[in-house]
Structure 1
């Protein structure tokens, strides 16, 4: 008798990674660092429950410290009921919003430590953007328009297709953008990026599509999709895409009525293509560079492009002024890379027009940092303030609101929201478990100021 083996796979740069295992197979436990003061670093493991933290539902945790055994353990919480049993505790959070669980320990060797763990408690489980039977969400992007309407872009990994969803504040409505089809020009989709016009709510999507495998450049192309009057318009930007599947970005130019620009990677170069008219794109090739982050426009219409310079093994930001000017200025991001280790940078603008750049993942951990750039003219005269983020930096996404930067951060299988406290120190609030090997997306709803995330868990695209 043959035993059925079931493993899903996600496309990543340079190969594939296993995703959700079949029901009943062991999953990686959710481990949370204390990041608190003391002689030892405390870790708590969440036991038995996955997903978000729900009011009234019992949670079980176990505290541990590497190489140490405990002489005494004391637990406390800001809200809810506690039942402690030495290293383990049962906690039933009550109410919604932030709650904290604190543990203080003394080890047998005489060391003392305290860990404060912050949790975002919700009234109900996270929302499935797409509740269908397919594997979804190895790639998702989240955005809001000025009315507070939510927009999400995600891949259907079962059928390698591209989907778009809108949220009215209560429920999600989904529809296919492109994918395999009958005599309609549809084909497989491997990667996508989303930009939403905040004023009109119109989505603009750049994506990589093709009939052949993702490692065959001649079979892939760069495409663009937008939706007006409930109808999708799909156009070709470039007939061939020679870069890695994840190197793609789109941004809207506020100085040109929100016209999109798409940047995409090639072989030791990248292209950025401006949309000049309906179905018409004007490409520009940048040689000896590799696209390494989200592109973005300032209010004047200057385009900022993070890139990696192969000859210098460094990451820079270049700025390209409004056409017809072709002048370019460069800023050294002070990121000295070794071949094959440079990372993609998420971009966001602060209300005071600072450009923020954050590595989505980083190795070694000492380089994991947020870069706050005060821009100058020329760009090379800009100043950079570097803020370390986390020693374990698995996958992140960046947004910026009126109260500062907001980061969705996957720390193993733990999803956390990183903000700042009154003194500017990072504050880590747990949102729940997330699928290992994936990247979340974060956006701030302007009508409420609330940060929301989309992510993959158990092979489904979720929203919280």
Structure 2
């Protein structure tokens, strides 16, 4: 069977758009004259491809000069990688945006012509969605996803039927699931409420902080727990006996990825930092700034300074501040005062930029994302505040490939957002998800593709 070719719309040096064809039969080329000493019409044919032009994809084209035999060809592009071969060229497409492919042709009769062809390159699509845990229970009202340096995927998620905590690992093809903690018999297992995951980027070792307890989990006191995987088995440790309402975990790169857990009690309670000094040994230190509540992910920088955001309720308002703990010295940088103090997902961007995204916003609220350039001392920091979307009910944040990536749930709709070359947000709809659930997003370092975990049809799902 003869191969069917999709023939592009032809462009001359006039910046017209090259559109993808979608019919089953090849379309005749639209011939547009190219300027030159003689009327030589150029067209290019797309070989071995169909559909949209996707970033990082190698596309192959052939140039044709109408009614003329080609003597020489020169190819060029404003971005991406060009590999010419006479009339043919293989072009590895650049990042999403507008890209241009140009060709200059000399014919055997001595005529010349030029053509410039512009393409709308789209972002690499996410992998097809699949259930991480296919068992009969309801799973995934909360989940947390991360990747190690090899591209292996790691997810922790709740089993909502039994209030237990599970871990799943992805080898690029399939998921393997394991129980971390939950109700048990004579083994100390208890109900699990909130959790957060940190991955050693080199070894891939998972570190998990979570709040756990017994009784009515809506109003019973919860305490901090920690779990890690050692020699293929999960090791669980008690961290602190204090009541826990908010919790985060971070690994210190300046101390061989040693975990620290930051947690607080109550909306205006105390914040504590617990550091693992040895196996099953934790040192807890009360945060010296009183009457604060933890309100963001905790992150270490490369020097070992710990960063997190707290808020202090006062007269119906909350005042947020970035806290920087350098050794035992605390530095603060005031952020905003508002009527609410939502949780903030945090991520590092280059140049000591600490990004913090509000978990939810009201209609049109302007202060969805903070971009804090952390100074030394922290009081010398600067900040910019930006909108992300008009409204959303739950979110998460990651950074990679020179831009932020957000997962936004609004009701039962989930979208992936990132910025274009001008800094404007673009959104990709990921489909229907469970209401009242929170998604998580991470970028796989081996290919730069963002992935999300979320709850769909009562199952923890990966896309």
Work out whether 1:173 is the aligned partner of 2:172: no
2:275 corresponds in structure 1 to 274
1:265 corresponds in structure 2 to 264
Per the alignment, do residues 373 and 232 of structure 1 end up closer, same or farther by CA in structure 2, a change over 3 Å counting?
same
1:21 corresponds in structure 2 to none
Give the whole-Å Cα distance in 1 for the aligned partners of 2:125 and 2:176.
Answer: 25
* More RCO (CA 8 Å, sep 6+): 1
Work out whether 1:299 is the aligned partner of 2:298: no
Q: 1:410: how far off?
A: 1.2
Per the alignment, do residues 434 and 119 of structure 1 end up closer, same or farther by CA in structure 2, a change over 3 Å counting?
farther
SS in structure 2 of the partner of residue 309 of structure 1:
strand
Compute the TM-score of the two structures, normalised by the length of structure 2: 0.71
C-alpha deviations, 1:263-289, integer Å up to 9, x for none? 112132221211122111111223200
Work out whether 1:315 is the aligned partner of 2:320: yes
2:111 corresponds in structure 1 to none
> Residues 56-455 of structure 1: matches in 2 within 5 Å?
80=22, 125-218=128-221, 220-243=222-245, 247-267=246-266, 268=268, 269-286=270-287, 287-311=290-314, 313-322=318-327, 326-333=328-335, 335-338=336-339, 341-363=340-362, 365-455=364-454
Compute the TM-score of the two structures, normalised by the length of structure 1: 0.71
Give the whole-Å Cα distance in 1 for the aligned partners of 2:126 and 2:398.
Answer: 21
Q: 1:351 touches 1:402 (CA, 8 Å); kept in 2?
A: no
Q: 1:217 touches 1:241 (CA, 8 Å); kept in 2?
A: no
Q: 2:156 touches 2:166 (CA, 8 Å); kept in 1?
A: yes
Q: 1:355: how far off?
A: 0.9
Q: 1:368 touches 1:391 (CA, 8 Å); kept in 2?
A: no
2:457 corresponds in structure 1 to 458
Q: 1:394 touches 1:411 (CA, 8 Å); kept in 2?
A: yes
Q: 1:382: how far off?
A: 0.6
Q: 1:443: how far off?
A: 0.3
SS in structure 2 of the partner of residue 313 of structure 1:
strand
Q: CA RMSD in A?
A: 2.4
SS in structure 1 of the partner of residue 183 of structure 2:
coil
Q: 1:168: how far off?
A: 0.3
Q: 2:248 touches 2:263 (CA, 8 Å); kept in 1?
A: yes
C-alpha deviations, 1:21-71, integer Å up to 9, x for none? xxxxxxxxxxxxxxxxxxxxxxxxxxxxxxxxxxxxxxxxxxxxxxxxxxx
Q: 1:154: how far off?
A: 0.2
Q: 1:96 touches 1:120 (CA, 8 Å); kept in 2?
A: no
Structure whose CA Rg is larger? 2
Per the alignment, do residues 95 and 463 of structure 1 end up closer, same or farther by CA in structure 2, a change over 3 Å counting?
farther
Q: 1:414 touches 1:434 (CA, 8 Å); kept in 2?
A: yes
Per the alignment, do residues 369 and 122 of structure 1 end up closer, same or farther by CA in structure 2, a change over 3 Å counting?
closer
Q: 2:126 touches 2:449 (CA, 8 Å); kept in 1?
A: no
Per the alignment, do residues 154 and 377 of structure 1 end up closer, same or farther by CA in structure 2, a change over 3 Å counting?
same
For structure 1, the residue ranges without an aligned partner over 5 or more in a row are 1-76, 82-92, 101-117
Per the alignment, do residues 96 and 458 of structure 1 end up closer, same or farther by CA in structure 2, a change over 3 Å counting?
farther
